[in-house]
Amino acid sequence: MHTDAIFRPLSTFRRRAQLLQAIWQTPIAVAILDAHGHVEQFNPAMESLLGYPSAAWKGAPFGYFAYPDEAQAFRSNVVELLGGSRRTAQMERRLRRRDGAEVIARVSLSAMTTAGQRPAGLVVICENLTAQRGAERALHLSETHLRDLFDVVPIGLFHAGRNGDIVAMNKALRKLLLLDRDATLAGVMVSDLCAGPEAEADVRELYTSWSIDIRKVHTRLRRADGLPLSVVLGMRAIVDARGNVAYHEGQVVESAR
């Protein structure tokens, strides 16, 4: 059963028995809270998520499963919903499993209402985001690590978009070109670094005949003080999962030539 079918105004269900049956069968983690915000029932998916049997926590506040620093915000939402000032609420919360493990969940609350009456209770839906947030955290750490490596490598490096716009430049290349470390790269193209038409043609050739292997050319770039600089410029294309060019990676080494 899709989450939306549960999260719709609950007056659409003709009988409470139908609601309970639907909740019991869904693979989505669902809890029923009474008019005081206390646990009335967990479905099997919620029991699996939290590691607790439903009967063990009947009558306990659902906020118990939230971490102490987040429990108050959860209770405030429960009070507003049971008071009738809101019908739904959604938040991301850390929940505590029976084994002590942390679960990151998107928690959706919906009041069980009938026309003209105060809510008889709440439906709580928990979507487990733990693996997703863990993957996002790992990706962030990996990207941070790569950025740090990019910046400390003693060889001049840059990243450029598919159209030749420079999106990143490491410290070594800024030093080589006498560029201030805080100078903006907005609107700067690889061709803007070239010292003349021949160098621009070299860069165009690297772009138009791109390869995933580094291709190098002896050319000249222009430093910030206007003087030309002989370099070996290498570029390769970084492709996405579909084989399309995502961006270009370049390296610049000063040449005595």
18-54 pLDDT, tens digit per residue, is 666 777 778 889 988 998 889 988 889 999 998 888 7
Residue 146 lies in a domain: no
- What are all long-range contacts of 136-145, with beta carbons under 8 Å and residues at least 24 apart? none
- pLDDT of 134 higher than 80: no
CA distance 183 to 166: 12
Q: Report residue 152: phi and psi, to 5°.
A: -100, -10
* pLDDT band per the 50, 70, 90 thresholds, residue 143: low
Question: Is the torsion defined by CA of 8, 9, 15, 17 positive or negative?
Answer: positive
- What are all long-range contacts of 201-206, with beta carbons under 8 Å and residues at least 24 apart? 202/233, 203/164, 203/233, 206/233, 206/235
Query: Are both 51 and 17 inside the same structural domain?
Result: yes
Give burial (CB, 10 Å; 0-12/13-18/19+) of 199: buried
* pLDDT band per the 50, 70, 90 thresholds, residue 228: very high
Residue 212 and residue 220 in contact, taking contact as beta carbons nearer than 8 Å: no
- pLDDT of 229 higher than 90: yes
Query: Are both 98 and 34 inside the same structural domain?
Result: yes
Tell me what pLDDT residue 18 has.
67
Residue 140 lies in a domain: no
Tell me what pLDDT residue 13 has.
45
Query: Are both 127 and 41 inside the same structural domain?
Result: yes
Residue 138 lies in a domain: no
- Domain range for 173 is 153-254
* CATH number of the domain bearing residue 250: 3.30.450.20
Residue 109 lies in a domain: yes
pTM across the whole model: 0.50
The single-letter code of the amino acid at 175 is K
> Looking at residues 222-227, what average pLDDT do you find?
92
> Looking at residues 130-150, what average pLDDT do you find?
70
Query: Are both 128 and 165 inside the same structural domain?
Result: no
Residue where a domain terminates, one of 83, 99, 133 = 133
Query: Are both 161 and 208 inside the same structural domain?
Result: yes
- pLDDT of 10 higher than 70: no
Residue where a domain terminates, one of 102, 133, 164 = 133
- pLDDT of 2 higher than 50: no
**Total of domains in the chain:** 2
Instruction: Pull the structure tokens for residue 9.
Output: 């105004």
Query: Are both 158 and 223 inside the same structural domain?
Result: yes
